[in-house]
Amino acid sequence: MSRWGRDFWLSTASNSAHSRASGNPETVRRSACVVALGPRFRGDERLGKRIALSLALLFVLAAPVLAESAKPHNYGIGTRATAEQIAGWDIDVRPDGVGAPPGHGSVKDGEAIYLERCAACHGEFGESAGRWPQLAQGKGTLASNDPVKTVGSYFPYLSSVFDYIRRAMPFGDAQSLTNDELYAVTAYVLNLNDIVDDKFVLSKETWDKVKMPNANGFYDDDRETAEKAFWNPNPCMSDCRAPVKITGHAAVIDVTPEEAGANDKPPRKGGVE
Amino acid sequence: MTDGSKTEGPKKTRTTRRHFLAGAAGLAAAGAATRVRADDKNLPPNVAPWSKSLGDGVAVRPYGHPSEFEKNVIRRDVQWLTASRESSVSFTPLHELDGIITPNGLCFERHHGGIAEVDPNDYRLMIHGMVDRPLIFTLEDLKRLPRVNKIYFLECAANSGMEWRGAQLNGCQYTHGMIHTVQYTGIPLKLLLEQAGVKPAGKWLLCEGSDAAALDRSLPLEKALDDCLVAYRMNGEMLRPEQGYPVRLVVPGWQGNMWIKWLRRIEVGDRPWYTREETAKYTDLMENGKARKFTFVMDAKSVITSPSPQAPVKRKGFQVISGMAWSGRGKVKRVDVSLDGGRNWREARIDGPVLDKAPVRFYVETEWNGEPWLLQSRAIDDTGYVQPSKDALRKIRGVNSIYHNNGIQTWALKTSGEVENVEVG
C-alpha cells in the first residue's frame, strides 16, 4: 500500500469510529472531510465528499497495480558464500541420500567405534543406560501401552539416523567422527536392529539397500479433519455434564520436584523426549 | 508437596503445607493483617530503616536484578525427565507472572546440546541451496536491514506432555511452563530470502543451529514467507545466550522446536529433510501405532496460573482468578472459566493486548468462602477452535503422543486454600 493510500485508509477508519461514538451525523460528515482532506476543504462539504469518493475509487483501482509492482528490494547487504564455505557447513542428508558424504563403513568396524564412543549411554546392545535414548528393539510396541521408539521400531529413514549422528553424536563431541566412522557406526546401529546383516558395508552406493521397518508409520497432520469437532460455534455454558468426580491426584503420584532439588521417585511414562 | 523442614533460609516464601495451614488458621481471625506484634518494627506507626538511611546509588546495579525478596521466582527443572541437563528443559514460573510478557531471564529453556556461547564477531548466517545468490550475513549485516517488532508466544510441543496419562506434576510451572512470550526484533525471513533469490522449485527450508546438536528442522517456504522472523532481540535487548544469542528463528504459532536457536544456516530445497527432530521426535504417536508428522501449529490452550498448586489461596473473600490463553492459529477470541470442573462456564475478562499468535491475560473476579472448587479454563480462538477436555483429546489420540497436549487443566481448590493438579471424570 502506498503511503498516501494508507493515510487515507486510516483517516477514514478513524472517522467511522468517531461517527459511532458521537451519533451526530452532521458533525460526523464535517469532521470526515476535515480528517481526510484537511482544513482547506472545510466549508465545502459537497466538494469534499466528491473528492473523497473519487480518491477512494482511484485507490481501489490502483491497489492491485501497486501490489504487483512491489519488487523485492536488494539492499546490497551480505556477501557471496563460496563453495568451500558452504561445503564446510552443509552437512544435512536427505532420505534419498542427497548430501551423504563420500566414504564407507562396515558393521564390523562400527561395532568397535560404537563400544568405545556410544555404548556408555546407549548400552552395549542399544538397550540404553539410564534415561539415554534406547536405539534397538521395540518392534511391535508402537500400538501398545508402552511404546519403545528406536531406530528399528520408529525412525522412518536411514537419513534421519545418519544426519543426526553426523551433526550431534557422540553427545558432547559432535562432528568428531570421520566419514568412514560415521558410515560404520550407523551400519552397526542398523545391525543392532536386524536391518542389515553382519557383513553389510554402508556407503552412498548401498544407501538404497537399507529398508527401514517403520518407513510407512507416519502420516501428515490431519487435525483439521480428525479433530473437526473441536471447532464449535456454540460451546456449552451451563449444565454441560454430570457432576464431576476427581479421578486422579498429582499429589498422590508425588514426582513434583521440591524446592531444594529433584525428587528421585520413578515417574510415569512421558517426558519432553 | 511435602513439609518444608528440608528447606533452608529464613526468607523462604514458598508455601509448604505446614506454613500454609498455619497462615490460614491465623487468617480466620478478622483483622489479622492489622494486629501489631513485637517484631513489626517496620510497620506503622514505626518507621522502617529504608525510610531513614540512603540506599544504593545509581549504577551500583549496572544491570538490574529483581528484589532479593523475589528469589523464588526462577526457572526450575524436573531432573528425572531427562538424562542430562545439556539436553533438557527448564520451566517458566507462570504462577509468579502476570500480563503476557515473560521477563528474559525467566523464559523457559530447551537445549539439545547445551547453550552455545557464540562470539558475535564470529557469527555468520549462511543462506544457500536453491537460490540465485548464496549469501553469508554477519550480525552487523543483519542489524543494517529493515526490522520489525512482534510479540509472539513460543510453546514447546511437549508442554503438558507429562500429563497425558493423568495428573502428574503439581504446579503450572511444570504442567504448562514450556511457554514464554517476548517482543522480538528481527528481520522478516521473506526479506532475507529475497536477498538470496529463491528459485521457483524451492519449496522447503532446512534451518540449522550452531549448537553442539546442530539442531535442524524443515520449514515450509510458505510459512517462511508468511510471518517468520530472523530475530536478534527479545524485549529490546539482545537475545539471551540460552535463547539463541545472537540470532534465532521465530516461527509464530508453531512448535518451539522449529524456532532454531544460534541459527547458522538456511538451505532452500524442494522437499522436507525428515530430520531426526521431525521423525523420531516431534511426531505424535496415535493409539494404532501410526504417528502424525509435521504437526507444526500449536492448538488453542489456556491455564489458570493463580490459584494453582504453587499459588494457593491465602484469604477467603474476594479473589482474582488469573490465567493465560493462547492459540497458534491466530488470536484468542474468548476465554471461559469453570469453578465446578466444567459443568458450568462463565466468560472471563480479557485484559491487555489481544494479538495474533500471542497470549492474552484473563481474569475472573469473584468470592471464595472456603468451598471446594474444580477450576478450569478453556480458550476459544478466532478460527472457532474450542480448547478440548483432556478426555476428548485422549479419545482421538490415545495417551502415547507426548506432544500437543492442549487439554483443559483442572485445579482442585480445597477448603484449606491449597490447590492440587487433579484429573476429573
pLDDT for A71 equals 83
B15 Rama class: left (phi>0) / alpha (psi -120 to 50) / beta = beta
Average pLDDT over residues A226-245: 96
Given a cut of 70, is residue A94 above it in pLDDT? yes
Is B71 an interface residue toward A (CB < 8 Å)? Answer: no
Mutation for A interface: B2, B111, B275, B413, most A CBs within 10 A: B275
Using CA atoms, how far apart are residues A105 and B29, in angstroms rounded to an integer? Answer: 78
Contact B114, B212 (CB under 8 A): yes
Is B279 an interface residue toward A (CB < 8 Å)? Answer: yes
Is A84 an interface residue toward B (CB < 8 Å)? Answer: no
Sheet order of strands, B419-424 included: A246-249, B419-424, B410-413, B373-381, B332-338, B346-347
Q: Hey, are the CB atoms on B170 and A251 less than 8 Å from each other? A: yes
Rounded percentage of chain B residues whose pLDDT exceeds 70: 91
**DSSP code per residue over B36-84:** --TT-TTSTTS--GGGTS----TTSSSS----GGGTT---EE-GGGSSB
Given a cut of 90, is residue A5 above it in pLDDT? no
Residues of A in contact with B133 (CB under 8 A): 80
Using CA atoms, how far apart are residues B245 and B122, in angstroms rounded to an integer? Answer: 12
A63-to-A8, A10, A199, B100 alpha-carbon distances in Å = 13, 15, 67, 36
Using CA atoms, how far apart are residues A134 and A121, in angstroms rounded to an integer? Answer: 9
pLDDT tens, residue by residue, B221-230: 999 999 999 9
- Nearest-by-CA chain B residue for A240: B343
Place of cell 509464530: B252
Residues of A in contact with B6 (CB under 8 A): 258, 260
Predicted structure pTM score? 0.85
pLDDT tens, residue by residue, B155-201: 999 999 999 999 999 999 999 999 999 999 999 999 999 999 999 99
pLDDT for A49 equals 52
Residues of A in contact with B290 (CB under 8 A): 142, 217-219
pLDDT tens, residue by residue, B230-278: 999 999 999 999 999 999 999 999 999 999 999 999 999 999 999 999 9
Given a cut of 70, is residue B352 above it in pLDDT? yes
Place of cell 482511484: A58
Is B109 an interface residue toward A (CB < 8 Å)? Answer: no
Q: Hey, are the CB atoms on A167 and B214 less than 8 Å from each other? A: yes
Higher pLDDT, A222 or B26: A222
